[in-house]
Chain A
């Protein structure tokens, strides 16, 4: 990369020994340069910026993350066995430290009209397939971490589905982070494009081996054509020392349906931006989330839903369990344009605080510029109700188990929305495991 980003993020974009992917593609060079300029222009986000009011990037910058270099090739399938969910029958894609790793992936047979490949590979073999799609949803002007991702573009998962194509089995992306000698940042970039009427399920799992320190700045661009359906589960269970950033950009055409469940359990510092824009009427977007924030953990969610056209519906349902000195932010914004009559939007954020030292900032906002709409929002911040706890204990159930049961009961609604029983069980178990060691003061 010529000219460093003078912002503290320059190490994220350090030049690679083997050059940049897609070098020589003019359109890509332009996008990269443009993104780099935006990184420079934006500088380090401060708490004066609305999007960063509650969250400081200081801790992130202090780690001095350097860009991942070589692909990790030494891993065998046995090494990742414990990370697989046995009863989950999927087309499996494994990425390690941001790189597509075919030797660990198991794509199997894909139906006609479905392409699943690595971004790097596709830029080499058929770059035109990406030309309109890269930055096609996120747009040219991007917030800092998206711009960083674009400027440092390297690899990712690409799913392209033709008109009417239907995937029966889910595509499972396992993004594995492996600690290196020094703290590294990977910036996977995923592109999912469903043409009219296509239907798919995508399960993303961010996992790690051990308790290593690393950063993942992932970015997704999803576009749904008319009447397309995407079920999208994202499960983040990472090292307690990890830093995780997600920027998800979604565009929905008429009649399309998106159902996304975001489970955030891991990482020391996690920031998620979910940005949705409707471009056709009668589309539905259902965003659900469950987050756990314990000691020294930050879970920061920003949701932006743009009802630019009439008659679409959106649901944002997020629940959080906080314990120890955990911190969470829920900043949800739904904007209904002047012409977007018959919009139906409901946003809710509920938090269960297990300790007095935990803290949540929750700020749901509706900006309604149309008059014939149905919109609501609500938040709660509460504790475990003593009557419930007593009821369970009076039946012989120990206080810690009773608390765990009530927390899982609180989370159930979200876990229930996951793709399959196997996934639900895996997540419930992990939530239970984390709460078992949770300090309750």
Chain B
């Protein structure tokens, strides 16, 4: 489904991703862990097409398409979704209007009919329930003045609505209280399906108790230096990154 080979990317003069390889199959959940500043968000951004990164080598193929040559919206139309580590506030842009524009843009690009107001609202209400979100959030501006936890839940809410094929969750668990973490994890699990893959970036083993990954990778200094099963996360929790980093250097 997603195949990343030898990916190198710069921000300005600095090389941040230094030959990253990753294969994600359909329906799989991959966790990416790694120290601060190792390039996890950079990788998420490069996948979703954010400007400001220069890819100098390697390839990213999604369902046979070269993702790197597509605009961000075209990637979204193919089913790529990024839950932002820091969701952006859009004062003055009404949340409902935004959600409708997003959903209908994607439907249109896929040759589906746009949803009318009534079916849209019905759909929204259904998804809100899954994430225990108050529908007053719909009347407000996108993320504007939302609490940290509300912003994160709003990201997963958008994911539930847009039903992507590849969801990249960048530290969606950071800043969530214990109950909210549960709710978000339930939301993510509800979306698990044989056709939907996920990349879950996290610093904490706790999330992975709820969302069981198929694979766990350690990203350090712009490369995946170690991969394993879910037990790798437990090991990291126990020992920290020191030992993998040393091994990585030795390798």
On A, residues with C-beta under 8 Å from B are 386-388, 390-399, 401-402, 405-406, 408-413
Q: Which 6 A-B pairs have the closest CB atoms?
A: A409-B92, A412-B92, A396-B76, A395-B102, A409-B93, A393-B72
Q: Which residue of A391, A396, A401, A413 contacts B90 across the interface (Cβ within 8 Å)?
A: A391
Contacts of A393 in B (CB 8 A): 49, 71-73, 76
Task: Report yes or no: B105 in contact with A396, Cβ–Cβ below 8 A.
Answer: yes
Given contacts A396-B109, A398-B105, A409-B141, are A390 and B72 in contact (CB under 8 A)? Answer: yes
A401 to B108, alpha carbons, bound, how many Å? 14
B16 beta carbon closer than 8 Å to chain A = no
Chain A: minimal CB distance from B235 (Å): 33
A402 to B97, alpha carbons, bound, how many Å? 12
A412 to B97, alpha carbons, bound, how many Å? 13
A397 to B51, alpha carbons, bound, how many Å? 16
Q: Which residue of B88, B103, B109 contacts A391 across the interface (Cβ within 8 Å)?
A: B88
Contacts of B87 in A (CB 8 A): 391
Chain B residue nearest to A387 in the complex (CB): B88
Chain B residue nearest to A390 in the complex (CB): B50
Task: Report yes or no: B76 in contact with A399, Cβ–Cβ below 8 A.
Answer: no
Chain B: minimal CB distance from A268 (Å): 28
Task: Report yes or no: B88 in contact with A399, Cβ–Cβ below 8 A.
Answer: no
Task: Report yes or no: B77 in contact with A396, Cβ–Cβ below 8 A.
Answer: yes
Chain B: minimal CB distance from A328 (Å): 20
Candidate in B48, B52, B88 with the most chain A CB atoms within 10 angstroms: B88
A265 to B245, alpha carbons, bound, how many Å? 60
Contacts of A386 in B (CB 8 A): 51-52
A84 to B88, alpha carbons, bound, how many Å? 38
B199 beta carbon closer than 8 Å to chain A = no
Chain A: minimal CB distance from B199 (Å): 15
On B, residues with C-beta under 8 Å from A are 48-52, 71-73, 75-77, 81-82, 84, 87-88, 90-93, 97-98, 101-103, 105-106, 109, 141, 158, 162
Given contacts A391-B90, A406-B93, A409-B91, are A399 and B71 in contact (CB under 8 A)? Answer: yes
Candidate in B92, B98, B101 with the most chain A CB atoms within 10 angstroms: B92
Chain B residue nearest to A385 in the complex (CB): B88
A405 to B92, alpha carbons, bound, how many Å? 9
Task: Report yes or no: B102 in contact with A396, Cβ–Cβ below 8 A.
Answer: yes
Given contacts A386-B51, A405-B101, are A396 and B92 in contact (CB under 8 A)? Answer: no
Q: Which residue of B76, B92, B162 contacts A413 across the interface (Cβ within 8 Å)?
A: B92
Contacts of A390 in B (CB 8 A): 49-51, 72, 88
Q: Which residue of B49, B81, B88 contacts A388 across the interface (Cβ within 8 Å)?
A: B88
Q: Which residue of B49, B91, B101, B141 contacts A397 across the interface (Cβ within 8 Å)?
A: B101
Contacts of A406 in B (CB 8 A): 90, 93
Chain B residue nearest to A411 in the complex (CB): B92
Task: Report yes or no: A391 in contact with B105, Cβ–Cβ below 8 A.
Answer: no
Given contacts A394-B48, A396-B106, A396-B109, are A408 and B92 in contact (CB under 8 A)? Answer: yes
Given contacts A409-B92, A413-B92, are A394 and B51 in contact (CB under 8 A)? Answer: no
A410 to B141, alpha carbons, bound, how many Å? 11
Contacts of B50 in A (CB 8 A): 390, 394
Task: Report yes or no: B92 in contact with A394, Cβ–Cβ below 8 A.
Answer: no
Chain B: minimal CB distance from A118 (Å): 40
Contacts of A398 in B (CB 8 A): 73, 105
Task: Report yes or no: A397 in contact with B105, Cβ–Cβ below 8 A.
Answer: yes
Contacts of B102 in A (CB 8 A): 392, 395-397
Contacts of A397 in B (CB 8 A): 73, 101-102, 105
A sample of 13 inter-chain contacts (CB < 8 A) reads A388-B88, A390-B50, A391-B88, A391-B90, A393-B49, A395-B98, A395-B106, A396-B102, A405-B93, A406-B93, A408-B93, A409-B91, A411-B92
Chain A residue nearest to B50 in the complex (CB): A390
